[in-house]
Amino acid sequence: MKRTSIRDIAREANVSPATVSRVINNSSLVNEATRKRIQGIIDKKHYKPNEIARGLYTKRTKTLGVILPDITNHFFAKIFQEIEKATLPNGQSALLCNTLNDYALENFYAERLSEKQVDGLILLGGHVNETLTDPNFVELLKRDYYDTPIVIINGKLDGYENYISVSSDEYGAMFTVLDYLLKLGHRDIGFLGGYRGITSTDQKLDAFEKAKKLYKFRMKNGWIHLSGYSFHQGMYSMQELLKQKELPTAVFAVNDEVAAGAISVCYKNAIKVPDDISIFGFDNSYISITTNPNITTMSHPYETLGESSVKLINSMINGEIKAGEKRYYSMTLVERDSCRAT
């Protein structure tokens, strides 16, 4: 069966194809009676516009590019899910690019998305989570995205201001973590996972260092083991910690995967959590309710981060706001069973 075209609609409505196109694109140049007549024919014939042609007319593709480093990581997967949910009511779609933690692949995807003329770009992790952003990536954005709205989630760019950032207040969340542990009587606290040079880890460690000046607790160098973000890296960090002659009474893990790895090592070494040592996680990921005990953790405002990033992109597209804003959203403590009073 031949597909209905704009010309077919125009012929039946006795108007020009340009008038039909104006109706499809919600132009104010068509009077209401003509608009209703044309829309009735469109509905009757179940006509669907050619999105490529429509994009050429409107200069919009209704596509947002999303670049993230690891879709198997709960934080990134959950955020992308919320982004997708937020685009659908607008008739938009989110195009996912998973870089597999490869910076070169991140650059490649950024170039490809620019060629596809996405209406906006959302960045998570990778380059934007570096303490010092790769200047080559910044130059790529300046060249290819100078007039394209960009939102960064939980990150930043050095030497580039043409974006809006939305972030969980991870720095503030760390004071919630420490306040909770201190109220339980813990004064010896360890730190597991992450890497220096990564913004999210740096913020957590910086908060710990500042808190040490405000509260009375110890965090000895031998209790800090930075070895990454995975379950197995959490196991390694805990194994290294257990080599110390003196152990902390509580441990903070940079995410729930690291916390789960630490709990696994404790179990294998007949160390009871939380009776012998308390373990506090971060992210409120699925794994936090699969361990024994379930992990006390901090939860990101996932829905808010995803929804606001899409709203801000569209507000920039429509000229309602300009780049340069920085928005922070509070995190929530989720108390479970992995911490107890000393």
Q: Which residue has the tokens 């012998």?
A: 276
146 shares a domain with 196 = no
Number of domains in the chain: 3
Cβ(270)–Cβ(292) under 8 Å?
no
- Residues of the chain with pLDDT > 70: what percent? 96
Write the CATH number for 203.
3.40.50.2300
Reported confidence tier of residue 47, pLDDT bands at 50, 70, 90: confident
- Work out the widest C-alpha separation in the chain, in whole angstroms: 89
Q: Is residue 339 part of a domain?
A: no
Task: State the virtual CA torsion across 71, 74, 75, 80 in degrees, nearest 10.
Answer: 50
Instruction: Please tell me which residue, 15 or 87, carries the higher pLDDT value.
Output: 87
206 and 140 in one domain? no
Residue written as token pair 């201001």: 161
Same domain, 269 and 292: yes
Same domain membership, residue 153 and residue 132: yes
State pLDDT tens for residues 64-106. Answer: 999 999 999 999 999 999 999 999 999 999 999 999 999 999 9
Sign of CA dihedral 301, 299, 333, 153: negative
How do residues 135-156 score in pLDDT, each as one tens digit?
A: 999 999 999 998 999 999 999 9
State whether 124 and 89 are in the same domain.
Answer: yes
Tell whether 338 is covered by a domain: no
The CATH code of the domain that includes 41 is 1.10.260.40
Confidence of residue 56 (pLDDT cuts 50, 70, 90): very low
- Same domain for 48 and 68? no
156 plus 184 within the same structural domain: no
- Given 22, 37, 58, the domain boundary residue is 58
309 in Cβ contact with 154 (< 8 Å): no
Q: What angle do helix axes 170-183 and 199-214 make, rounded to 10 degrees?
A: 40
DSSP secondary structure letter of residue 194: B
Domain that holds residue 148: 63-169+302-333
Return the pLDDT at 55.
53
Q: Are residues 274 and 316 in the same domain?
A: no
Say if 341 falls within a structural domain: no
Report if residue 1 sits inside a domain.
Answer: no
- Calculate mean pLDDT across residues 274-293: 97
Shared domain for 145 and 193, answered yes or no, is no
Same domain flag for 176 and 286: yes
Residue 247 pLDDT exceeds 90: yes
Burial, 273: exposed, middle or buried (Cβ in 10 Å; 0-12, 13-18, 19+)?
A: buried
Better-scored residue on pLDDT, 47 or 185: 185
Q: Is residue 25 part of a domain?
A: yes
Same domain, 266 and 306: no
Enter the pTM of the model: 0.82
Residue 181 in any domain: the answer is yes
Same domain, 177 and 296: yes
